[in-house]
Amino acid sequence: MYSVRLWAARHARLFELTYRAFEPVIVKLHPLWKSVGYQRAEKPMGKLEKLSKGLLFDCQMCGQCILSSTGMSCSMNCPKTMRNGPCGGVMQNGNCEVYPEKRCVWVEAWEGSQKMKGGDTIQVVQLPVDHRLKGSSSWLRVARGASDQKAGHKEASK
């Protein structure tokens, strides 16, 4: 898994393009999620997300994905779960002070972001992790968020 995770960050541009194609589909499926019920859709979608992102990114299912802002290197794999850049313990060779045999997640994140078109979002300060969302599907959260936003715009323009 570790080598796949490294590979994914090194092909961050490919995954950025994939996500850009995938996100609108998930959002467009809002009527389906709504008819099934977002709560009901959680289980199968969560499983699917865990399987696919677990395989590629060692996803820890934090429920609030920021992969596209971290060069496709999941910050939840940092042993200190640093969400806004590395701690002060990165070794000179770019490895982690807790697991010296592994690369620092944030070194990988920075390198990944340099390969991406929207890699500048690595500069955005992330909110602290909301642990209540752990285990939930961030895909469904994106779909619901986008449709709520759309509904809000419609309401405002009335």
DSSP 8-class letter at 127 = P
Distance, in Å, from the CA atom of 28 to the CA atom of 23, rounded to the nearest integer, reads 9
* 65 makes contact with ligand SF4 (CB under 6 A): yes
Beta bridge partners of 103: 95
Complete DSSP assignment for 47-87: HHHHHHHHHHH-----SS--GGGTTT--GGGSTT--SSS--
Helix and strand totals (H; E) in the chain = 6, 0
Task: Number of residues interacting with ligand SF4: please give it, by CB under 6 A.
Answer: 12
Among 53, 86, 106, 109, binds ligand SF4 (CB under 6 A): 53
Q: Shortest Cβ distance from residue 139 to ligand SF4 (Å)?
A: 9
Residue 33 or 138: the one with the smaller Cβ distance to ligand SF4 is 138
Q: Is the Cβ–Cβ distance between 57 and 74 less than 8 Å?
A: yes
Q: Is the CB of 135 or the CB of 152 nearer to ligand SF4?
A: 135
- The verdict on 12 binding ligand SF4 (CB under 6 A) reads no
13-21, 35-43, 63-71, 147-155 -> range binding ligand SF4 (CB under 6 A)? 63-71
**In the complex with ligand SF4, which residue's Cβ is closer, 65 or 143?**
65
Across the strands, what pairs with 95?
A: 103
- In whole angstroms, how close is the CB of 64 to ligand SF4 at the nearest point? 6
Q: Are 16 and 22 in contact (CB under 8 A)?
A: no
Is residue 106 a contact point for ligand SF4 (CB under 6 A)? no
For position 60 contacting ligand SF4 by CB under 6 A, the verdict is yes
Question: Which residues of this chain interact with ligand SF4, rule CB under 6 A?
Answer: 53, 57, 59-62, 65-67, 74, 76, 138
